[in-house]
């Protein structure tokens, strides 16, 4: 399992478009990508839940990636977060 944390820098947080792109990206891997914030965790492919968590600028979220391609998936997700959020 690979884990990493990321603090949101985008002014409006994880909003519709990046949430959609993140879910889409996570679906391209076989690994399960889980996001955790304040004890609540969820699979990031669940777009509505992801949007519903209301993750804002300054929030720190923890990712854990588990599966065959976890190495590549974790790197792709981390790069995506840095670039878009």
Partner 1 sequence: MIKCKGKGVYGAIAIGNVSLFKRQDEPVRRIHVEDVAGEFARFEDAKALATEQLAEIYEKALKEVGETHAQIFEVHMMMLEDDDYNDSITNIIKTQSVNAEFAVATTADNFASMFASMEDAYMQARAADVRDISNRLIACLSEGEQTREELTQKMVICADDLAPSETVSLDKDKVLAFVTAFGSSNSHTAILARNMNIPAVIGVGEDFLKAAEDGKRILVDGYTGEVILDPDEETESAMRRKQEEDLRGKALLQELKGKENVTLDGTKVNIFANIGGVGGVGAALANDAGGIGLFRSEFLYLESTDYPTEEQQFQAYRKVLENMSGKKVIIRTLDIGADKQIDYFQLDKEENPALGFRAIRICLTRPEIFKTQLRALYRASAYGNLGIMFPMITSVSEVEQILAICEEVKAELKAAGVPYDEQTEVGIMIETPAAAVISDKLAPLVNFFSVGTNDLTQYTLAIDRQNAKLEPFCDTHHEAILRLIEMAAENAHKHGAWIGICGELAADTTLTENFLRMGIDELSVSAPFVLPLRDAVRKLDLSK
User: Minimal CA–CA distance to 66: which of 74, 58, 55?
Assistant: 74
Residues 85, 79: Cα–Cα separation, whole Å = 10
Considering only residues 6 through 25, tell me which ones interact with partner 1, judged by CB under 8 A. 12-13, 15-17, 19-21, 23-24
Taking the least distance from each CB to partner 1, the nearer of 2 and 29 is 29
Q: Where are the beta strands (DSSP E) in 1-85?
A: 2-7, 32-37, 40-43, 60-66
Considering only residues 23 through 82, tell me which ones interact with partner 1, judged by CB under 8 A. 23-24, 45-49, 51-52, 54, 56
Report the interface residues with partner 1, using CB under 8 A. 12-13, 15-17, 19-21, 23-24, 45-49, 51-52, 54, 56
């Amino acid at each position: 399992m690979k884990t990493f944390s990321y603090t949101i820098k985008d002014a409006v947080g994880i909003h519709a478009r990046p949430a959609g792109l993140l879910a889409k990206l996570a679906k391209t891997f076989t690994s399960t990508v889980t996001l955790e914030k304040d004890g609540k965790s969820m699979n990031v492919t669940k777009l509505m839940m992801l949007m519903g968590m209301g993750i804002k600028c300054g929030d720190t979220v923890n990712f854990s990636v588990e599966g065959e391609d976890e190495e590549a998936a974790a790197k792709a997700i981390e790069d995506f977060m840095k670039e878009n959020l």
